[in-house]
Amino acid sequence: MRRYGVGTLLLALLISVLWLSDRRWPVPVHDISPARVVVAQDGTPLWRFADNEGVWRYPVQPEQVSPRYLEALINYEDRWFWHHPGINPFSLLRAAWQFIRHGDIVSGGSTLTMQVARLLEPHPRTITGKIRQFWRALQLEWHYSKTEILTLYLNLAPFGGTLQGVGAASWVYLGKAPSELSYSEAAMLAVLPQAPSRLRPDRWPERAQQARDKVLRRMASQGLWSEQQVEESLQESVWLAPRKMPQLAPLLSRYLAGQSQSPLVTTTIDAALQRQLETLALNAKARLPARTSLAMLVVDHSTMEVKAWIGSVDINDSSRFGHVDMVTAIRSPGSVLKPFIFGLALDDGLIHPASLLQDIPRHFSQYRPGNFDSGFNGPVSMSDALVRSLNLPAVQVLEAYGPKRFAGELRNIGLNLYLPPGSEPNLSLILGGGGARLDKLVAAYSAFARHGKAAELRLQPSDLLRERALMSPGAAWIIRRIMAGQSQPVADDVLPAIAPLAWKTGTSYGYRDAWAIGLNARYTIGVWVGRPDGTPTAGQFGQGSALPILNQVNNLLQATSRVQQLRLPPDSRPPSVSAAEICWPGGQSLPPGDSNCRRRLMTWLLDNSQPPTLQAPGQESIQGTQQRVWVDKQGYRVAYDCPGAEPQVITLWPLPLEPWLAPVEHRARRLPLISSVCPPRLSATSAPLLLYGIRNGERLKRLPGQPQLAVKIYSQGGGQGQRFWFVNGEPAQSHDSVLSLELKHSGDYQILVLDEEGQIATVQFEMQ
Supply the residues annotated as catalytic. 77, 335
Q: Which residues make Cβ contacts (< 8 Å) with residue 495, sequence separation at least 6?
A: 486, 573
Q: How far apart are CA 28 and CA 120, in angstroms?
A: 6
Prior bond of 574 cis (ω within 30°)? no
Long-range Cβ contacts of 590-598 (<8 Å, 24+ apart):
596/649, 596/650, 596/651, 598/651, 598/653, 598/665
Cα–Cα distance measured from residue 189 to residue 192, given in angstroms and rounded to the nearest whole number:
5
Letter for the amino acid at 674? I
Dist. CA 613–CA 357, nearest whole Å: 8
Q: How many CB atoms lie within 10 A of CB 542?
A: 27
Three-state DSSP state, 235: coil
Q: Quick count: other Cβ atoms within 10 Å of Cβ 277?
A: 25
* DSSP per-residue codes, 65-116: S-HHHHHHHHHHH-TTTTTSSS--HHHHHHHHHHHHHHSS-SS----HHHHH
Strand partners, 581: 602
Short-list 168, 140, 196, CA closest to 65: 168
Rg (CA), the chain: 39
SS3 455: strand
Task: Return the C-alpha torsion angle 166, 169, 174, 176, nearest 10.
Answer: 50
Query: Assign residue 207 a region: left if phi > 0, alpha if psi is -120 to 50, beta otherwise?
Result: alpha
Strand arrangement, sheet containing 45-49: 45-49, 36-39, 264-266
Contacts of 170 (CB under 8 A, 6+ apart): 58, 176, 177, 178, 181, 185, 189
